[in-house]
Amino acid sequence: MTSIIHSKSWKLLEKHHKNMSAVHIRDLFEADPERSSKFSLYFEDLLFDFSKNRITEETLTQLYSLASQSELKSWINKLFNGEKINFTEKRAALHVALRNRSNNPILFDGKDVMPSVNKVLSKMRLFSESVRSGSLKGFTGKKFTSIVNIGIGGSDLGPAMVCHALKSYGKKDIKPIFVSNVDGYDISQALSQCDPETTLFIVASKTFTTQETMTNAYTARKWLTDSIGIEAVKNHFVAISTNEGAVRAFGIDPENMFEFWDWVGGRYSLWSAIGLSIAIYIGMDRFDDLLAGAHEIDNHFRDAPFEKNIPITLAMIGVWHINFFGYNTLAVLPYDQGLSLLPSYLQQADMESNGKFIGRDGEKVCLHTGPIVWGDSGTNGQHAFYQLIHQGTDIIPTDFIMPANSKYPVGSEKDQHHKILFSNFVGQSRALMFGKTKEKVRAELVRSQNDVEGLEEIIPHKSFEGNRPSSSFLLKELCPKSLGRLLAIYEHKIFVQGIIWNINSFDQWGVEYGKQLASLVLPELDKKSETNGFDSSTNNLINYFKKST
């Protein structure tokens, strides 16, 4: 494939960028009072407003043309048709099959995967309902009240984020707990909240060899067996894995093993049996709603024209920011405390997918790929890092996300808390876009104080350039279906950007390399002799650690 930077569309965008560099977003609004209606898209009860970005209709036309020139439509078909687009691992990326509620055949190596997917979903339903009803009990005959999910990466971030976001739908007498870090603090704090007789452990590891996950799993098993005996393991542990031999050796009944497949990437796995903790906590019907919301977006992404397509539009605006303006970070700012884990979830989804410098052609890419994704919930973030977003030397595009209706209405006057939250949601994006001119600051200061001495000195400090781009997602409410839609939008956005940058969004070899080096260090820690087989820094760190423990 010819490098995208040599394409006609790219050259036209470079020329267009020069014209847009001096444009202020507030001027675009002043020039067109109907701007928001032209730069917003709706899907069911979701509003995506991208009008507060430095774009025009010409910008979008050229960006969509760039997407076409990158053969995006063909790549979308490859994704949905089960082709092995993850070519370095010779795997498909069929997370769309996991939530294929239409149940149309999806082929992988010539075989329809939907019977296998549906079989696992049926097994999840039976198991989750038996836990929720109390018909499935622990070794001593007591109902389960704590569900401890032991995983890492996508096997942790996805289920943890969804359970936290949908807490209002959770079963009140079941507490979901998530353990991922191999640091003993994590498993210790989790177990301190649990009673061995009423705790169910879900061990999520495809190979059942993941170091962090299995270390925590064995610690949990010892905690359980020390209290109620080795016979209890089969009653209190289930596995999400493909390695039946290792599962059986651990002591888990293979009947309590839930399958998933090589074509399910970890960061896309919450839709699979990895979501068992979600199904237990909110119920399988609502888990189905989560899948249904994502499936609706899958169909929209596959079928909608580019100019009406939310994931494609979101992705191409990101390309515009990253590759033409040089804005290399993205702040995700959910104005809902339930979504406080969403920035971390999207951080992994995006940065592990597109943090690559080698293209599909094996050559080093000539573009910046993958934004640095970060954020926190509003209004907490406003009192932490918004100062830098408003007046810092780096311009940081932001995605604001909020449900119009709260699941926790409190206060007087029909939920004053939520009105205050929404006013900040709107006010912050407006402030980032408009800014505040020196003239306006001067007028405000003159009106507010009698003593104008030193007034000119303070004006530069209280003025804002504005012209800082943002997009806004407004949902009617945060429910399983709306959350499924939102997550699928971001998944497909990441995929689109990977196509533009000509990289494989579905492998993560950098992560694996760090693990390889860690495996060389671990044996050294049990040796009494001084370590000298590595570089001087590594040797020094290891030897200091051994002396200190």
Phi, psi of 300 (to 5 degrees): -60, -45
pLDDT band at 409 (very low <50, low <70, confident <90, very high): confident
Tell me what pLDDT residue 1 has.
46
Closest CA to 101 of 129, 78, 121: 121
70-106 tens-digit pLDDT = 999 999 999 999 999 999 999 999 999 999 999 999 9
Indicate whether 452 pLDDT > 80.
Answer: no
Indicate whether 458 pLDDT > 60.
Answer: yes
333-357 tens-digit pLDDT = 999 999 999 999 999 999 999 999 9
146-167 tens-digit pLDDT = 999 999 999 999 999 999 999 9
Q: Which of 383, 417, 438, 476 is catalytic?
A: 383
Tell me what pLDDT residue 513 has.
86
Tell me which residue has tokens 């691992």.
Answer: 89
| Entry field: residues in the chain | 549
Tell me what pLDDT residue 160 has.
98
Reduce the secondary structure of 397-460 to three states and give it as a string: CEEEEEEEECCCCCCHHHHHHHHHHHHHHHHHHHHHHHCECHHHHHHHHHHHCCCCCCHHHHHH
Walk me through the domains of the chain, giving residue ranges and CATH numbers: 4-69+304-434+469-500 (3.40.50.10490), 98-287 (3.40.50.10490), 435-467 (no CATH), 513-548 (1.10.1390.10)
Closest CA to 133 of 146, 144, 147, 120: 144
Rounded-to-integer distance, Cα 68 and Cα 147, Å: 46
Tell me what pLDDT residue 412 has.
62
Tell me what pLDDT residue 454 has.
79
Look up 89 and say whether it is catalytic: no
Indicate whether 198 pLDDT > 90.
Answer: yes
Mean pLDDT of all residues in 383-388? 97
- The reply to whether omega before 379 is within 30° of 0 (cis) is yes
Indicate whether 451 pLDDT > 80.
Answer: no
Tell me what pLDDT residue 447 has.
85
Average pLDDT along the chain: 95
Mean pLDDT of all residues in 378-406? 97
For 203, 220, 253, the CA distances from 237, given in Å and listed in that order, are 7, 10, 8
Q: Which of 352, 390, 492, 493 is catalytic?
A: 352
pLDDT band at 413 (very low <50, low <70, confident <90, very high): low
DSSP state of 530: P
Tell me which residue has tokens 């074509």.
Answer: 263
486-542 tens-digit pLDDT = 999 999 999 999 999 999 999 998 888 888 899 999 999 999 999 999 999 999 999
Q: Which of 18, 515, 527, 530 is catalytic?
A: 515
Look up 212 and say whether it is catalytic: no
Q: Tell me, what amino acid is at 486?
A: L
For 59, 126, 309, the CA distances from 321, given in Å and listed in that order, are 12, 47, 18
Tell me what pLDDT residue 432 has.
97
Look up 515 and say whether it is catalytic: yes
